Amino acid sequence: MKRIAILNGPNLDRLGKRDPEIYGTNTLSDVAEGLKEQFPDVGFEFYQSNHEGALVDKISELTEGNCQGIVFNPGAYSHTSIALRDAISGSNIPTVEVHISNIHARERFRHHSHTGAVSQGVIAGLGIKGYTLATQALVDQD
């Protein structure tokens, strides 16, 4: 069984409540339940933190475990965090970055992603379906 971690950064605990016109009305629980239904043969680990260091620690923990992939929505940290970039780069775990909104159609400061530069791929602007697409890409890898 493949093990895939679904990591979410700051403010994603408020998904479904914060700016629903941008992020929609689904919650992280909805994302988790949907992934478990769509991929019953995958062992998921779900983690969310508003704290950069906790996310770095989690990636390090996953590196020491039996994790075959990471779907990561780093939120605003994608635009600011060299520490998360280095954690992803040093993990040797295939990582797909996900953004619910199209970061390239928003404020200019959101157009660059430090974490996306070291990820296998980036999915942006497809809502929570991005989590499904990222997971499928990781499942399809040998």
* pLDDT per residue as tens digits for the range 76-119: 999 899 999 999 999 999 999 999 987 776 668 666 788 999 99
> Environment class of residue 91 by beta-carbon count within 10 Å: exposed (0-12), middle (13-18) or buried (19+)?
middle
The pLDDT value recorded for residue 107 is 63
* Domains in the chain with CATH codes: 2-139 (3.40.50.9100)
Which letter does DSSP use for residue 68 in this model? -
The pLDDT value recorded for residue 109 is 60
pLDDT of 48-62, one tens digit each?
A: 999 999 999 999 999
Where residue 46 falls among pLDDT bands split at 50, 70, 90?
Answer: very high
The pLDDT value recorded for residue 137 is 98
Catalytic site residues?
A: 23, 99
Tokens of 74: 């780093």
38: CB partners within 8 A, 6+ apart: 132, 135
